Amino acid sequence: MNSSNAQSGFALVGDIGGTNARFALWRGEVLESIQVLACADYPRPEDAVRDYLLRVGEPLAGVRNVCLACAGPVGAGDFRFTNNHWVIRRDAFRAELGLSHLLLVNDFSTMAWAASRLSDEHRVQVRPGRVLDDRARLIIGPGTGLGVGSLMPLPGGGWEVLPCEGGHVDLPVTSERDFAIWQLLREKYGHVSAERVLSGSGLENLYRMSCQLDGVEARCASAAEIGERALAGDAYADAVLEHFFLWLARVAGNAVLTVGALGGVFITGGIVPRFLERFQRSGFSSAFAARGKTSGPYLDQVPVWVMTAEHPGLFGAGVALEQALKNES
């Protein structure tokens, strides 16, 4: 692919986790030919890329630019996946596939890149407010873990993504109920991070600890079952889900105060979008800004959206690659 192809936005993008690798073509800011491949079916990531291109009828020679979102901390060297056998050896990968550019980014960072360009059809506003265009945006996503990141606007246009480990901050305690659950979590885990509650396994923790406190029989074995029971009218499961949303409000609000994210908050991940209507009815919006006399007013006008795009990781990988190529031109 020559430079004109790169500027037109044609590239291969991927979003690779421990189990599945999602691939797509990025052309003119649009995702095409999305496919999901099982990592276990391929000895190496190069083999998966070749098979994907064969499946969608795209010759390898036509692809010169690739961006892969990888689950884990991405540095300058080779990348080893934590939960599968793949290793991306940058120089060998680029040479074998004949690439001009290979960009590896953290998988949650692509959520931030996606938030920089989401249209209204791919997001739902759940808290009104005023966007300050020259200030940071916060991205937070309870899913397998709790991802947190921010977007900083650049003076000449574009954005810089600031990845972090904000999911591992201390879990905030603001009520006697919070404290009682925090004590049980500390007995089990020692340090109690926000992720111990705000994730799939965290929702399960919250449910089990709540049942233990209240002397209630635990009827749900998974986060999905807790959510399903809550939506089906189970009052106890619904109360646990509500507590989850309130804790998310506190953690998100704290993160906004830390980075000055007056450009708004974008919620992603596998949990909140699944329960969007219930989330909209929750106490999240009020709890988000229910603070002291200084922090409350600071947060009061910060808007919040839920990202509803079907493949934000792939979309964000395309945006990240596009800006990287633009910066090099």
If asked whether residues 93 and 130 sit together in one domain, one would say no
* pLDDT at residue 329, rounded to an integer: 66
* pLDDT at residue 2, rounded to an integer: 33
If asked whether residues 143 and 265 sit together in one domain, one would say yes
If asked whether residues 256 and 303 sit together in one domain, one would say yes
CATH assignment at residue 40: 3.30.420.40
If asked whether residues 54 and 187 sit together in one domain, one would say no
If asked whether residues 99 and 165 sit together in one domain, one would say no
CATH assignment at residue 226: 3.40.367.20
If asked whether residues 177 and 95 sit together in one domain, one would say no
On the CB side of 112, CA atoms within 13 Å amount to: 26
Q: Residue 319: inside a domain, yes or no?
A: yes
The b/e string for 1-35 (b: 16+ C-beta within 10 A; e otherwise) is beeebbeebbbbbbbbbeeebbbbbbeeeebeebe
**What parts of the chain have a pLDDT lower than 50?**
1-8
pLDDT per residue over 132-170, tens digit each?
999 999 999 998 889 999 999 998 888 899 888 899 999
If asked whether residues 152 and 272 sit together in one domain, one would say yes
The total number of structural domains that make up the chain: 2
**Is there a binding annotation on residue 14?**
yes
If asked whether residues 164 and 290 sit together in one domain, one would say yes
Q: Residue 7: inside a domain, yes or no?
A: yes
If asked whether residues 261 and 317 sit together in one domain, one would say no
DSSP string, 67-131: EEEESS---SS-EE-SSSS-EE-HHHHHHHHT-SEEEEEEHHHHHHHHHTT--GGGEEEEE----
Q: Residue 51: inside a domain, yes or no?
A: yes
If asked whether residues 237 and 293 sit together in one domain, one would say yes
**Is there a binding annotation on residue 141?**
no
**Is there a binding annotation on residue 181?**
no
**Is there a binding annotation on residue 16?**
yes
**Is there a binding annotation on residue 98?**
no
Q: Residue 248: inside a domain, yes or no?
A: yes
If asked whether residues 225 and 197 sit together in one domain, one would say yes
Q: Residue 112: inside a domain, yes or no?
A: no
**Is there a binding annotation on residue 144?**
no
Q: Residue 35: inside a domain, yes or no?
A: yes
If asked whether residues 126 and 265 sit together in one domain, one would say yes
* pLDDT at residue 77, rounded to an integer: 83
Q: Find the domain containing 322 and state its range.
A: 3-107+311-328
